[in-house]
Chain A
Amino acid sequence: MLPVTLPVFLEGAVFGILALKTGLNSAEAFGMSALVTAGSAQYVSLSLWSNPPHAGTIIFATLMINLRYVLMGAALRPWLDRKDSDARTYAALFFVGDENWALSLNEWTNGKADVLFLFGSGVALFIAWSGGTLAGSLAGEGWIDLRKSGLDFAFIAVFTALLAGTWSTARFVFASALSAAIALLVSRWIPGNWYILAGGLSGLAFGAKDE
């Protein structure tokens, strides 16, 4: 988990620094990371933050950006085949993020279907993200050069590696290419994070033809 948690810790630290600049205090920045735990939505919320903030706008933007979790949660169902009354599953779902969701699916397609992997990797990322936010908001600016250390690229490399890891047949490559093309088009013309939802939904079309 270290190669994933270290970049997330640093990303959290950058968030903490930016949150200070936006006018939040350390406790608020840490509180947001610990309760929301959704990096891209939190970054966008900072861009919308005024003093005092317009809570409705920020909450709506958060909902739109995190709609992808609905799709990702549905994709977890075949693996986490549990009763809805299982509190552990719903606790584990609190920790669903892009990285541990993808890592869990990768693990489960290799035959190790267990809610504990989702939970464990989620908690590790949760600690890294909220801990990083606290560290960044306490440390202030200018203590690491993300670009020089290549750590800004690590955020991309995590996803390209996980993506290539899903390519067990050529059909997965085609589905990825179609989704990437749609995401590029949508991100160019529609503001916000709709491109993730649009690309993700295109995967359903591939599944439909598979039957």
Chain B
Amino acid sequence: MSQREINLSINGKTYAAAVEPRLSLLDFLRDHAGLTGTHVGCEHGVCGACSILFDGVPIRSCLMLAVQADGHAITTVEGLCNEDGAPGPLQDAFQEAHGLQCGYCTPGMLISAQALLAGNSDPSIAEIKDAIGGNLCRCTGYVQIIEAIQLAASRLREAGQ
């Protein structure tokens, strides 16, 4: 199958690759860019495990083709870490509040939370539920995820003061 050249930015780094037009953005991130933090959950856009930020907006990378990302900027869960690769503040809050169990949905959950907190540092519980309403988690029952996002928000507000 013929290949197309794409250029895109992932977590601030520039990637150039030749890909098949049918390659999903999710498979590109995992198999070509080697960023396996973004997970495959359903490949039909329901579970949210493959969520990434696409020009700052949370989207499902399983529903997009790699060629459609040409010229765009992507953030994956790896991009939420500090420069030394250690977990960043949102990730720390998830650890402190036990906002994850198996960790499979977690990257997508973090992406949705990041997108929420970028525009709202004092979200209500309803706003948090709305933001993560498209991310399925089968382990936690969401209670501690919501607590983790509240904790991260409170830290964000403290830092902003």
Same assembly:
no
**Which B residues are closer than 8 A to A by beta carbons?**
none
